[in-house]
Structure 1
Amino acid sequence: MTIVPIVTVPDPVLKQRATEVGTVDDALRRQMDNMLDTMYDAPGIGLAANQIGLLNRVLVMDLSERLEDGVEPKRNPIYMVNPEIIFKSEEPSEMEEGCLSIPGQYALVQRPAIVRVKYLDYNGQGQEMEASGLLSHCVQHEIDHLNGVLFIDHLSKLKRDMIMKKLAKLQKGQQVL
Structure 2
Amino acid sequence: MSVVLPIAQRGEEILTFKAASVAQNEFNSAWLEQLALALQATMLERHGVGIAAPQVYVSKRVIIVASRPNPRYPDAPEMPAVTMINPEIIEYSTETCFGEEGCLSVPEQRGQVERAYVVKVRYFTVQGEQIEQSYEGFPARIVQHEIDHLNGILFVERL
Distance 2:88 2:30 in 1: 22
Contact 1:57 1:146 in 2 (8 A): yes
Q: Choose from 45, 58, 66 the match for 1:62.
A: 66
1:91 maps to what in 2?
Answer: 95
Measured after TM superposition, the shift of residue 121 of structure 1 is 1.3
Please give the per-residue CA displacement for 1:104-126, whole angstroms capped at 9, x wherever unaligned.
Answer: 31000001111100000132210
Measured after TM superposition, the shift of residue 91 of structure 1 is 0.9
Residue identity matched to 1:20: S
Measured after TM superposition, the shift of residue 75 of structure 1 is 7.6
What residue ranges of structure 1 are gaps of 5+ in the alignment? 68-73, 156-177
1:135 maps to what in 2?
Answer: 139
Query: What count of residue pairs does the alignment treat as equivalent?
Result: 149
Secondary structure of 2:21 counterpart: coil
Q: Higher helix fraction: Structure 1 or Structure 2?
A: 1
Measured after TM superposition, the shift of residue 43 of structure 1 is 1.3
Please give the per-residue CA displacement for 1:40-69, whole angstroms capped at 9, x wherever unaligned.
Answer: 0011111001100111000112113349xx
* Sequence identity (%): 35
Please give the per-residue CA displacement for 1:54-110, whole angstroms capped at 9, x wherever unaligned.
Answer: 11000112113349xxxxxx9821100000000011111110000000003100000
Secondary structure of 1:127 counterpart: strand
Contact 1:115 1:132 in 2 (8 A): yes
What residue ranges of structure 2 are gaps of 5+ in the alignment? 72-77
Residue identity matched to 1:152: V
Distance 1:31 1:58 in 2: 9
1:52 maps to what in 2?
Answer: 56
2:18 maps to what in 1?
Answer: 17
2:106 maps to what in 1?
Answer: 102
1:7 maps to what in 2?
Answer: 8
Please give the per-residue CA displacement for 1:3-62, whole angstroms capped at 9, x wherever unaligned.
Answer: 010000110110100010013122111001000000000111110011001110001121
Secondary structure of 2:148 counterpart: helix
After the TM superposition, which segments of 4 or more aligned residues of structure 1 sit over 2 Å from their partners?
A: 64-67
Distance 1:113 1:40 in 2: 25
Q: 1:136-151, aligned counterparts within 5 Å?
A: 136-151=140-155
Q: Aligned in 2, Cα 1:65/1:91: closer, same or farther, shift over 3 Å?
A: same
Superposition CA RMSD, Å: 1.5
Contact 1:36 1:61 in 2 (8 A): no
